[in-house]
Amino acid sequence: VVGNAQWQERKDAAMARGEGNLAPIFIDRAEGSEVWDVEGKRYLDFGTGIAVVNTGHLHPKVKSAVAKQLDHLSHSCIMITPYASAVELAERLNTLAPGDTPKKTMFVTTGAEAVENAIKIARSHTGRRGIVAFDGGYHGRTMMTLGLTGKVAPYKTRFGPFPGEIYRAPYPIAGHGISDEASLKALDTLFRTDLDPADCAAMILEPVQGEGGFYPAPTAWLRRLREICDEHGIVLIADEVQTGFGRTGKMFASEYAGIEPDLMTMAKGMAGGFPIAGVVGKAAIMDAVDPGGLGGTYAGSPIGCAAALAVLDVLEEEGLVERAQAIGARFGTALEGVQRQYPHLIGDIRADRGAMIALELVRDGSMAKPNAALLKAVLAECHKRGLIILACGMYGNVIRFLPALTISDEQIDEGLGIFGEAFAAAAG
């Protein structure tokens, strides 16, 4: 057989370096929380393709919904001759989105496109230009979303200039010495020095920062942002691309703060591995754009809609939103055990946002001393032992766990057992 090493060699020769891969593991097939590589080796999957297969790989209901859809229609283009499933999906998302204000939905294909369109809608609604984004935020790889993204390497390196009228404020992370007050003060200064709030169209934030390091937005801070946006007529956009669809133990992470965003972007977990994304928001804002101003050839494809409807059914039928909280608790307890053994290497455990769990690796027990070298070693040891885990964080020192919400307790314990051994091997 042609193994992982040969495929990696061929990939390096055939595919652009920029589209790099975390692990030299070539996946052949997957089921639930398990994947198998081209050499037949089994792995537990604590990464779900970056928070995508929340319902597990190839959930039977999602698979059969897609198979059934393939007997009817794969494409007709939503902007030409639409189909019922898109309407049904929009109706369900409008109901699920937090808050009582009537909602509307528009579909696209990827998370970055959803963010692009949320900005377009906010500008069209307000007639304003300025957009405020936050340090450490991640919103995608297109030019506008790169401009919004608050981390240079590797995302933005040598890709500028980015679109103008993007302003940045600090995201509050208590563990890194940035209080809610400091963030709000900086925002106030921004509004006095650079951007007239009357010319600010939108603020965009992740209710739990994803790529930036799995930092939940403090409730009081998010509520205050909601008030500031209301005071100035600014559109508040919650980027729920990574946090949506039960991942954090709520259907959407904005619910933790009890706020109603004006617009929400969603993708990833929405359709269990089939590409579809959307913007859901207050109807009056969503309808600011004239017909023809939004769309895309593959926007809300029939396959994506069928998969997404099945995912919503599965989340509900299997109680997966609540299950995410139990998963977080189980990880939290086990990871505290690892921290007790290595208090100088683990600065923080974040396990209170469902199945969006992180471990921040440090030196000398200090959050000011990120330990990216240890992270690299732990990842390699895990992958070697048959456990897929991912990394994130401004300093490349945060391990992130994104298990499927369908994972069993036995699989969690097996994976955490492997993790403990891998950590010990890496810590030396």
Binding site for ligand PMP (CB under 6 A): 50, 110-112, 115, 138-140, 206, 210-211, 239, 241-242, 267
Strand residue runs (E) in 22-102: 27-31, 34-37, 42-45
∠ CA 426-357-172, nearest 5°, is 110
Indicate the pairing of strand 166-169 with strand 130-134. Answer: parallel
What's the closest the beta carbon of residue 206 comes to ligand PMP, in angstroms?
5
Name the token pair of 75.
Answer: 């494409």
Instruction: Rank residues 242 and 301 by Cβ distance to ligand PMP and give the closer one.
Output: 242
Name the token pair of 2.
Answer: 């042609």
What's the closest the beta carbon of residue 121 comes to ligand PMP, in angstroms?
16
What's the closest the beta carbon of residue 218 comes to ligand PMP, in angstroms?
18
Q: 3-state class of 217 per DSSP?
A: coil
Instruction: Rank residues 49 and 386 by Cβ distance to ligand PMP and give the closer one.
Output: 49
What's the closest the beta carbon of residue 239 comes to ligand PMP, in angstroms?
4
Instruction: Rank residues 222 and 426 by Cβ distance to ligand PMP and give the closer one.
Output: 222
Instruction: Rank residues 237 and 362 by Cβ distance to ligand PMP and give the closer one.
Output: 237
What's the closest the beta carbon of residue 307 comes to ligand PMP, in angstroms?
15
Block residue for tokens 């319902």? 55
Alpha helices in 213-301 (DSSP H): 219-232, 283-286
Instruction: Rank residues 236 and 416 by Cβ distance to ligand PMP and give the closer one.
Output: 236
Instruction: Rank residues 32 and 111 by Cβ distance to ligand PMP and give the closer one.
Output: 111
Residue nearest to ligand PMP (CB): 111
Computed from CA positions of residues 352, 241, 420, 378, in that sequence, does the dihedral angle turn out positive or negative? negative
Q: 3-state class of 284 per DSSP?
A: helix
Block residue for tokens 């049904």? 88
What's the closest the beta carbon of residue 278 comes to ligand PMP, in angstroms?
11
- Residue of 127, 86, 98 whose CA lies nearest to 281: 98
What residues pair up with 200 in beta bridges, in sequence order? 130
